[in-house]
Structure 1
């Protein structure tokens, strides 16, 4: 009996081995095929696949992400001069709109402006004729800052009367005969508004201060 049992087990093991190896496929006995050769044929460089750590994956994500635009750099801006009355109203607006320490109001002097002047002319036609004459002489000119001197022309502006007189003498050597030195803008004293580091947030808040700025534009600090 024991021999028959051993013989049966040997036959069973041999049959199972033959079944797993496909030796009985011709008789209709074979395990289901698990391989998918058509998928293997579709693989592209499978040897190039790499397993990444979480840190490696984050590094690749950061490298692929578009760089954030750099924030606009802060710049120094100034406006003025403001009279005592204007400064009082402006200070009130600044204190309610801008952070403490982001602005200053300081006493300042705007020097007088002297010009080599030609005018007044009695008509725009006469002014146009004078411009044409100056171009013919190779003498440059500029618009007037003080509208009360128009219609007229400036051949240059200077911070002192002596400097303007020297330039008048040079203009005479080039054929300019009717020019003279005049004070176009007298010295002015007042308060100068300065924003040492105006960034985008501060610039946005300046819109609320337009009524107190009295039409004076902001410029880059000297």
Structure 2
């Protein structure tokens, strides 16, 4: 059965091929021809038709060449844009550099000096200066003295040098006397006094050289080149102190 089906398909394909190729035309079996002979009759002098070879090295001027007007147009447009940019650049003002400023300060000043500074700084621009409270902590000293005269002081110095104990003049109202060390707290001074006792120092004592006092610092947060010459008004009131960078 399968063999018969294959034979039928082969015969059908062979018949279709013969029909489509016009092999059965003599039997009246052929597809309809798609021909239009009337178009051949409409040709005008077909014998004058010639086939020319194109030279690839030559191109049409119209395809490759650009007209002067078209080539000049981009240039003129570019020139116009450049001129516009130059005009914009010349009309815009040059940028100004940001003025630099630095923070300066001086001190510490006591109450009287701070009041003099406030008076001297009054003509300066508002907000260009400030006086900050800066408390000054007290100071303690391991002290020997007061000695009767310079001779007694010199004898004590010789004795301390022999014991290899550092010392210097007490200064101020504590003359004639010797300082065996200055400290920020009473406890630190008393510890040093106990240490000196192990070296044979017996007559020294701890006293407060300077009590806690109110102090003030002059601060100029933004000193510019324009402000700097105006600071001369502060020179006298600064009591010999100089301005330094804020730390």
- The TM-score bracket by the shorter chain reads 0.5 to 0.7
Which runs of 5 or more residues in structure 2 are unaligned?
1-101
CA contact (8 A) 1:93 1:209 kept: yes
Taking structure 2 as the reference length, what is the TM-score of the superposition? 0.49
Match of 1:187 among 212, 217, 225: 212
2:147 match? 121
- Deviation sequence 1:124-146 (CA, Å, 0-9, x none): 2222222222111111113335x
Q: 1:196 to 1:120 in 2, by over 3 A?
A: farther
Contact persistence 1:75–1:196 (CA under 8 A): yes
TM-score, normalising length: structure 1: 0.54
Runs (4+) of structure 1 exceeding 3 A deviation are 74-77, 98-103, 194-208, 218-222
Partner in structure 2 of residue 80 of structure 1: 108
Structure 1 residue 89 displacement after superposition: 2.5
CA distance in 1, matches of 2:227, 2:195: 47
Structure number, greater radius of gyration: 2
Give secondary structure in 1 for the equivalent of 2:157.
Answer: helix
Contact 1:77 1:198 in 2 (8 A): no
1:92 and 2:101 aligned: no
The 1-side partners of 2:196 and 2:142 are apart by 9
SS in 2 for 1:121: coil
CA positional deviation for 1:155: 0.9
- Alpha-carbon distance change, 119 to 217 in structure 1, aligned in 2, over 3 angstroms: farther
SS in 2 for 1:184: strand
Give the drift of 1:217: 2.8
State the 1:197 CA deviation: 7.2
For 1:164-175, what aligned pairs fall within 5 Å after superposition? 164-175=189-200
Report the Cα offset of residue 219 of structure 1.
7.5
- Structure 2 CA distance for aligned equivalents of residues 200 and 133 of structure 1: 58
For residue 69 of structure 1, what is the aligned residue in structure 2?
none
Give the Cα–Cα distance (whole angstroms) in 1 for the partners of residues 218 and 237 of structure 2.
Answer: 11
Question: Would the alpha carbon gap of residues 135 and 199 (structure 1) be closer, same or farther in structure 2, given more than 3 Å must change?
Answer: farther
Alpha-carbon contact 2:141-2:181 (below 8 Å) kept: yes
For the structure 1 residues 102 and 136, does the alpha-carbon distance in structure 2 shift closer, same or farther, using more than 3 Å as the test? farther
Aligned to 1:155: 180
Query: Gaps spanning 5+ residues in structure 1: where?
Result: 1-73
